[in-house]
Amino acid sequence: MELRLSREQAHWQNRTRQFAESILVSHAARMEQVGAFPRELLMEMRANGLMGIPIPKAWGGEGADFISYILSIHEISKVSAAAGVILSVHTSVGTLPILYYGTDEQKKKYVRKLASGDALGAFALTEPQAGSDAASIRTTAIREGDYYRLKGSKMFITNAGEADTYITFAVTNASQGARGISAFIIERDCPGFIVGRAEKKMGLHGSNTCEITLEDVRIPVTQRLGHEGEGFVIAMGTLDGGRIGIAAQALGIAQAALELVEGARIRKGDSLARRRRWSSSELDLFAELTTQVEAARLLVYRAASMRQAGLPCTKESSMAKMFASDTAMRVTGAVVSMLGRQGCTDEYAAERLFRDAKVTQIYEGTNEIHRIVISGSMLR
Give the residue numbers marked as catalytic. 364
CA 338/CA 20 separation, integer angstroms: 26
CA 78/CA 24 separation, integer angstroms: 10
DSSP secondary structure, 318-374, as one string: HHHHHHHHHHHHHHHHHHHHHHGGGGGSTTSSHHHHHHHHHGGGTSSS-HHHHHHHH
Residues 6+ apart with CB under 8 A from 145: none
Residues 6+ apart with CB under 8 A from 5: 13, 67, 71
**Which phi and psi (to 5°) does residue 230 adopt?**
-95, 0
**Which phi and psi (to 5°) does residue 206 adopt?**
100, -15
333: left (phi over 0), alpha (psi -120 to 50) or beta: alpha
Task: Decide if 327 contacts 252 (C-beta within 8 A).
Answer: no
Residue type at 95 in one-letter notation:
T
